[in-house]
Structure 1
Amino acid sequence: MRRRHAAALLALVSGGFLCFSWFSTMRHSREEILLFQHQLKALNEHLYRAEERYVQRTQDLKLLLSKVRTINNRSVQRTDENAKWQHLPVAERRGTVLSSMTGLDVLHIPSLYHYLPHLQGRHEGLAPAVEVSTRRAKVSLVLGIPTVKRTDQTYLVDTLNSLIHELSHEEREDCIIMVSIGETNISFVNTMVENLQNRFGLEMASGLLEIISPPEMYYPDFSKLRETFGDAWEKVRWRTKQNLDYCFLMLHAQAKGTYYVQLEDDIVALPNFLSLMKNFAEHQPSEDWMVLEFSQLGFIGKLFKSSDLNIIVEFVLMFYKDKPIDWLLDHILWVKVCNPEKDSKHCERQKGNLRIRFKPSLFQHVGKYSSLSGKVHKLTDQDIGNPALQSVNMNPPAEVSTSLKVYKQYGLAKAYLAEDFFWALTPKANDYIMFTFLQPESLKRLQGNKRYYFRSGNAEHPGDKLSNTTVEVLLALENNIGKEALNNGKNRNSKVKQTEDGYRRIGNLFF
């Protein structure tokens, strides 16, 4: 009986243990499942966030690749763009740089494209359709000559002959004559270029003479011009196109030289015109000037600093449909210095500081027939002066003095400036005429191949001449110019004598 109870108890205990173990195992498995489910949910969320990041990174990568392709495309185009870049005004270059840096097109800085909207996005409209050039640059002066087809008579060849004939060998190396043919008929332009090459082949090969011609797209639709100042439409069109031709020429000349001189295709030049202009510009007492005038007619003989051409071009393009360029130039000067609260006389005095006149004129207008079809004019510069007197005005800044007694108003200073002649009473022994250069100068350089040049007497008073006169110089020995001159003088002529006061006698005058 006890055994049966013991067996029953053992069976009961065993059954309880198995039941507890089964329930314990089930509870343990349920906790693992819950934990696994929690981990799986967390993994799903992690994968979802990773997928979101992947999508975002993919978009970022696409945007980056797009920018890289854009940069590469710009790099490929840069060679062509660089050729056009130098002709853009400063404002346009600045706008291009900002747009490139930001990648935005919302910043629109005013430039010439705002005044020539038909060229928006067409930079090739500023590149020459025809160009003959050796890429000469860094010269002192660029002489700009716009020309067009004339129906009556052409003067361009005569003008070029005159300019080139009056240039010394040294001057031909230090300037550029740039001719712009303002015609869109390529056949006519090519024929004209061929004719110029036949006549001036050496000058073109050396880089002295360059030829450009604007493309047809450079010009806007002239049919929409409004008539102004009572002028007929044909005249309005003529002066509007002329303004554009001036601007095109200036844009292409600005990077080539220190100064730019505006000329016309129907002028003749006086001797030594280039050195006279350069010397006059370099020895201005102030840098505030904007234009130096070497002719009183229209836009002939106007010299500008190349650094000012951007301002001039942009101003002219603002109003190129409204007024001729010489009027617009006067407006530029008014804007810069005139006070609206002062009278016109004060304004003219202020403008006189920016616009400085050289007298006498260096260029004469010879064209009888205007480039405006049917117009005949006989404009000549009455201030052309005496070429014989003017040709000696190669003088650098100097202080002048003399012991001679001056006759009336004919002083030495005006003769040195080629404004008049010097006239004095009969000299005595030890009288002198002295020129003290403000800076050491090479006498040989002043007159090309001439070391120095004096002229005495005239047809009205043939007896009033310098005679028994010596030419003496005091060398600037502390300067390389003086040392070189002294050594050269010793090598060439051992008979050069030195005076007691240190001067060296280099010549005698016996007129």
Structure 2
Amino acid sequence: MRARPKNVLLLIFVVVALPVFWMSFVIKPDATNEVLVEHRLAEMRERLEFAQNLNKIREHDLKVLQSQFKFMVNSQANLDNHSRASSNESILREMQQALQNYSRQTDHQRIYIPSIFSYLPHLLGNDGSVQPAFKISQNRIGVTMVYGVPTVKRARESYLIRTLEHLVNGLDEQEKEDSLIVIFVGEPFDLEYVKEVGKEIEARLPESVKNGLIEVIAPPASFYPDLNQLQLTLGDPPERVKWRTKQNLDFAFLMLYAKNRGLYYTQLEDDVIAKPGYMATMKNFAINQKNNNWIVLEFSQLGFIGKMFKSQDLPLFAEFFVMFHNDKPVDWLLDNLLTVKYCSPEKSPAHCRKVVAEVRRRYKPSLFQHVGIHSSLKGKTQKLKDKDFAKQDASLIRSHKNPPAELRTSLTVYQKYMLEKAYMGETIFWGLTPEADDTVEFHMKPPVFIQSFLFRSGNREHPGDKFFNTTVEILPASHINDNGAIIENQPGSKMYPEGDKGFLIVGQFNKDGLAQGQIKPEVGEIAVIRLHSQTKGGNWVILSEIMLQTPKR
């Protein structure tokens, strides 16, 4: 039964007008309520625009299907009885030939609008070229935030798992249900590696993959042109032109894949760390903009890290990156697009910067920090750091008065987070992923009695950066002769399990990243206390608290 117009109007009035009347006149005005309503309306406005954009896409798809259906009907009507009885494959061949004939007959009458095929003509006639060649997905849609994380095989250390753990740990349970993290494995010519990455992510973050928070995709090799036949531009060597051209196409593919999955899209990299609570900050920053004419919100000042877009704008950026994929790096193309779109050649550069700043808005302090050292471009070292990254919270550090010691470690130290400063309680110690037999050593100067110890790893901002499978070991002064050589089987050796090189094992880190305990006085003065990694670690490591307590005099 069809609804009457009057009934429809009455229904709209009941659904829309009455709640507004109730909120305006029945509920008492309250400043807090007004702010909440404004935020909700802003979010609903964003979602409405997103839905309208989806409708336009569906309308276009419907027109294409309608056109194809007409051709199918016409082709079927023109077939003779013998053809009607032929197989589906034969019918499809007939239809394809009919379409080609139609195309040849009417080419001179048509005006063709440029599309992605104009810049990547090799994609024509190959639908598989614009579909992922590999995919792990629960097909989650309708979220507020989609995070795109492109990754490639690196010659040295991979930072991907650590980045994903930071992103997941920085979300609360509600945010995990309202987010989607898409990992784009940009190795189309090495599907075995792609599968390995997928298996590792499933093994290390099984719950996030199972519930749909994390997806893994890889593009087909046929999506890319011949990367060995590119025009050399900007005076760059062939290897760099190939690297940045492929990156442009990687980003375009990822954006087009993600465009209908959520309200906003944020581009990240596979070697970043995130400030806890980053999603709430980003969402509030977007909703609280005075107007909605922004096109990019930035949450990091580096490259393409932390760049947030409205999903409805992604086709614009993807098309621009494809159009100039051979010409410039992707972060330069972003700058160029904004200049072309918003700047007048008749105005000054200062005016251009001003108008671009109105649509490209920056949040400070930065929510994402680049931590990778080795670039995805072979042989390139990347030491860029975001100086605006959120300053460390003093409450994350616990200081103690420790005895004098010479400090040594085989771990690679990250930035300024030195072991010496951590020992003095000035900052944390932060080291790259431990290998088996890596150590952090405290050489007592002079040897002292140590009554108890406490080592706390990880902190609230980086809860996953903990020591695991790591023992606490001591070297009694009595185990060293006057020449510094180790003396085996000394008194006190049987009090604790023996390690190597005369060390005794007095404790180990638990699942919470904490190691603490008492040391028997019979051991005597201690020359060295060390943390000894027994296996290769899965994350970087932080020491946020170091306490070596000596007996009170």
Please give the TM-score of this superposition, normalised by the length of structure 2. 0.53
Distance 2:395 2:250 in 1: 32
Distance 1:265 1:235 in 2: 19
Per-residue Cα deviation, 1:254-279 (whole angstroms, up to 9, x for no partner): 00000000000000000110110011
Q: How does 1:201-350 map to 2 (within 5 A)?
A: 201-350=206-355
Q: How does 1:366-377 map to 2 (within 5 A)?
A: 366-377=371-382
CA contact (8 A) 1:113 1:120 kept: yes
Residues 287 and 66 of structure 1, relative CA distance in 2, 3 Å threshold: farther
Distance 2:336 2:131 in 1: 29
Q: How does 1:417-496 map to 2 (within 5 A)?
A: none
Q: CA deviation at 1:64?
A: 6.5
CA contact (8 A) 1:261 1:301 kept: yes
Distance 1:67 1:328 in 2: 51
CA contact (8 A) 1:130 1:212 kept: yes
Distance 1:389 1:208 in 2: 32
Choose the corresponding residue for 1:115, options 112, 116, 119: 119
> Which amino acid in structure 2 is aligned with residue 232 of structure 1?
P
The number of aligned residues is: 308
> Which amino acid in structure 1 is aligned with residue 77 of structure 2?
L
- Secondary structure in 1 aligned to 2:228? helix
Per-residue Cα deviation, 1:463-494 (whole angstroms, up to 9, x for no partner): xxxxxxxxxxxxxxxxxxxxxxxxxxxxxxxx
Per-residue Cα deviation, 1:366-387 (whole angstroms, up to 9, x for no partner): 0000000111121100011325
Quote the residue 1:41 is aligned against: none
Distance 1:340 1:387 in 2: 43
Residues 63 and 168 of structure 1, relative CA distance in 2, 3 Å threshold: closer
Quote the residue 2:135 is aligned against: 131
Per-residue Cα deviation, 1:429-477 (whole angstroms, up to 9, x for no partner): xxxxxxxxxxxxxxxxxxxxxxxxxxxxxxxxxxxxxxxxxxxxxxxxx
Distance 1:362 1:239 in 2: 25
Distance 1:371 1:259 in 2: 26
> Which amino acid in structure 2 is aligned with residue 130 of structure 1?
F
Choose the corresponding residue for 2:183, options 162, 179, 182: 179
> Which amino acid in structure 2 is aligned with residue 132 of structure 1?
I
Q: Which protein is richer in strand relative to its size?
A: 2
Distance 1:310 1:67 in 2: 40
> Which amino acid in structure 1 is aligned with residue 367 of structure 2?
L
CA contact (8 A) 1:145 1:178 kept: yes
Per-residue Cα deviation, 1:84-122 (whole angstroms, up to 9, x for no partner): xxxxxxxxxxxxxxx999996645221111111110111
Quote the residue 2:360 is aligned against: 355
- Secondary structure in 2 aligned to 1:353? helix
Q: CA deviation at 1:335?
A: 1.5
Residues 346 and 205 of structure 1, relative CA distance in 2, 3 Å threshold: same
Residues 218 and 389 of structure 1, relative CA distance in 2, 3 Å threshold: farther
Residues 115 and 73 of structure 1, relative CA distance in 2, 3 Å threshold: farther
CA contact (8 A) 1:146 1:182 kept: yes
CA contact (8 A) 1:270 1:387 kept: no
Q: How does 1:13-32 map to 2 (within 5 A)?
A: none
> Which amino acid in structure 1 is aligned with residue 150 of structure 2?
P
Quote the residue 2:171 is aligned against: 167
Quote the residue 1:54 is aligned against: none
Distance 2:214 2:76 in 1: 49
Uncovered stretches (5+) of structure 2, i.e. residues with no partner: 1-72, 93-100, 397-553
Q: CA deviation at 1:227?
A: 1.9
Quote the residue 2:43 is aligned against: none
Quote the residue 1:11 is aligned against: none
Q: CA deviation at 1:198?
A: 0.7
Distance 1:307 1:390 in 2: 41
Residues 62 and 164 of structure 1, relative CA distance in 2, 3 Å threshold: closer
Q: CA deviation at 1:73?
A: 7.6
Residues 371 and 225 of structure 1, relative CA distance in 2, 3 Å threshold: same
> Which amino acid in structure 1 is aligned with residue 203 of structure 2?
N
CA contact (8 A) 1:271 1:387 kept: no
Residues 388 and 73 of structure 1, relative CA distance in 2, 3 Å threshold: farther
Quote the residue 1:152 is aligned against: 156
Distance 1:255 1:100 in 2: 33
1:65 is the counterpart of 2:69: no
CA contact (8 A) 1:134 1:205 kept: yes
Distance 1:303 1:100 in 2: 44
Distance 2:222 2:162 in 1: 31
1:142 is the counterpart of 2:111: no
Residues 348 and 390 of structure 1, relative CA distance in 2, 3 Å threshold: farther
CA contact (8 A) 2:233 2:326 kept: no
Residues 101 and 113 of structure 1, relative CA distance in 2, 3 Å threshold: closer
Please give the TM-score of this superposition, normalised by the length of structure 1. 0.57
Residues 257 and 62 of structure 1, relative CA distance in 2, 3 Å threshold: closer
Q: How does 1:25-104 map to 2 (within 5 A)?
A: 65-66=77-78
Per-residue Cα deviation, 1:227-266 (whole angstroms, up to 9, x for no partner): 2222111011000001111111101100000000000000
> Which amino acid in structure 1 is aligned with residue 148 of structure 2?
G
Distance 2:166 2:349 in 1: 39
- Secondary structure in 1 aligned to 2:300? coil
Uncovered stretches (5+) of structure 1, i.e. residues with no partner: 1-60, 78-98, 392-511
> Which amino acid in structure 1 is aligned with residue 171 of structure 2?
L
Residues 345 and 180 of structure 1, relative CA distance in 2, 3 Å threshold: same
Residues 63 and 200 of structure 1, relative CA distance in 2, 3 Å threshold: closer
- Secondary structure in 2 aligned to 1:231? coil
Residues 124 and 384 of structure 1, relative CA distance in 2, 3 Å threshold: same
Q: CA deviation at 1:224?
A: 1.5
Q: CA deviation at 1:388?
A: 3.9
- Secondary structure in 2 aligned to 1:141? strand
Distance 2:368 2:248 in 1: 21
Identity %: 45
Residues 66 and 151 of structure 1, relative CA distance in 2, 3 Å threshold: farther
